[in-house]
Amino acid sequence: MTDYKSQLLDRFHNRTAKVGVVGMGYVGLPMAVEFARAGYTVIGQDINADKVAQLNDGISYIGDVPTEVLAPLVQSGKLCATTEIADLADCDAISIAVPTPLRKTKDPDMSYVLSAADAVAEVCHPGLLVVLESTTYPGTTEEIILPRLVHNGLTVGEDVFVAFSPERVDPGNPVYGVHNTPKVVGGVTPACVEVVTALYEPAVEKVVPVSSTAAAEMVKLLENTFRAVNIGLVNEMAIMCQRLGVDVWEVIEAASSKPFGFMPFYPGPGLGGHCIPIDPHYLSWRLRALNYNARFIELASEINTQMPYHVIDLVMDALNDDGKALRGAKVGVLGMAYKRDIDDVRESPALDVFHLLEQKGADVTFSDPHVASVHLPEDRIAESQPLSAEWLAAQDVVVIVTDHRAFDYGFILEHARLVVDTRNATKGYVGRARVVRL
């Protein structure tokens, strides 16, 4: 009997393995680059032909992957891209990194994972390691991925190896990337854990094995639920402080002086990105099937999703203090990305703020150095405006939703009349504008 485990371990250790990555987005591309930098030959697969063409030209469309890093890998033949899953047929390992969004009902949309699993099953062969990296509910790997790979008689842990390793990408983080963020891995069998650990060890600084795929799936949900719940707490604290006439930012700063027992979280206009607003609902959905109500998750979600409405109330009150109504007012939104210094608008609270302001009858425009345009309801597109003195002066109120470092806050306060600051970005700056903080 062929010892496929030993063959894979040898190929991973001597870097002769060929690795496929399904999904060349915010997760898949950075991982593919680290695999290639480690010495593997990597094939990225994506259904988007434009992305594939850009990658094969050595041009990056992901901010965390500079073109000057990507291009040499493409030119050396270590990394290429394709739209065809068949091109992954001779890979030793395939990583699945496709989106896992929520439906409007806040139930998991597993269509991308199902499609990717079916595609990988078409090229599955003895001696293949398949790793799911897409964030999902506990049980997904064994319930969706595994059956599709062993239906033809292959034995998991002997002929084919199946594992889960949660992505931990933090877009725009200047300190932690794929390489130096510990990689959690869980396998269906102990042999699967051994093989998947060997795959990642050359590409990341530290691998953290856990006992099962379900444990690894739960790790990611705990991480982001922890953040969502604590952000929900501090968002509610911000609302309470506003009612009490207390500066929540001063309170947080003072509380942070305690060297133990406290970790600062900061309020904002709402949650954005693909992970924190979405991942806890995967856990909540899974637990509902077991007749358990994840109360912390549901409450935190309720508070966080209401924050854009709280921002609108702040804007209305600030305008009222100037004797103006929101209807008909010119409102400039600063920042459309979901967090500072990136171009990602997925689930961005700025989109909600923009839409709610329009619903109230305001004339809304935005400026963002990282986002050229955004899609609005009714197939409309809004273009980013230059952050000029003229544009600032023309606004009845400027709302800071995303605190990009590229914004000159002294310049903003000098030329705007009224600023609603949801990120405490203007702290320490002075100007003629009146500032209302979250």
How deeply is 1 buried, as exposed, middle or buried, from its count of CB atoms within 10 A (0-12, 13-18, 19+)?
exposed
Listed residue (401, 347, 341) closest to 371, CA to CA: 341
Asked if residue 343 lies in contact with residue 63, where contact means CB atoms within 8 angstroms, the answer is yes
Q: Which residues belong to the active site?
A: 275
Q: Which residues contact 226 (CB under 8 A, 6 or more apart)?
A: none
One-letter amino acid identity for 64? D
Residues of 387-419 as b/e, b for ≥16 C-beta within 10 angstroms? beeebbebbbbbbbbbbbeebebeebbbbbebb
How far is residue 213's CA from residue 130's CA, in Å, rounded to a whole number?
12
Q: Residue 157, by phi and psi: left (phi above 0), alpha (psi -120 to 50) or beta?
A: left
Give me the sign of the Cα torsion angle 381, 387, 388, 389. positive
Are 332 and 368 in contact, with CB atoms under 8 Å apart?
A: no
Q: Give, as one character, the DSSP assignment of residue 378.
A: G
Strand partners, 43: 20, 80
In angstroms, the Cα distances linking 106 to 98, 100, 113, 343, 348 are: 18, 12, 17, 25, 16
In angstroms, the CA 130 to CA 120 distance is: 8
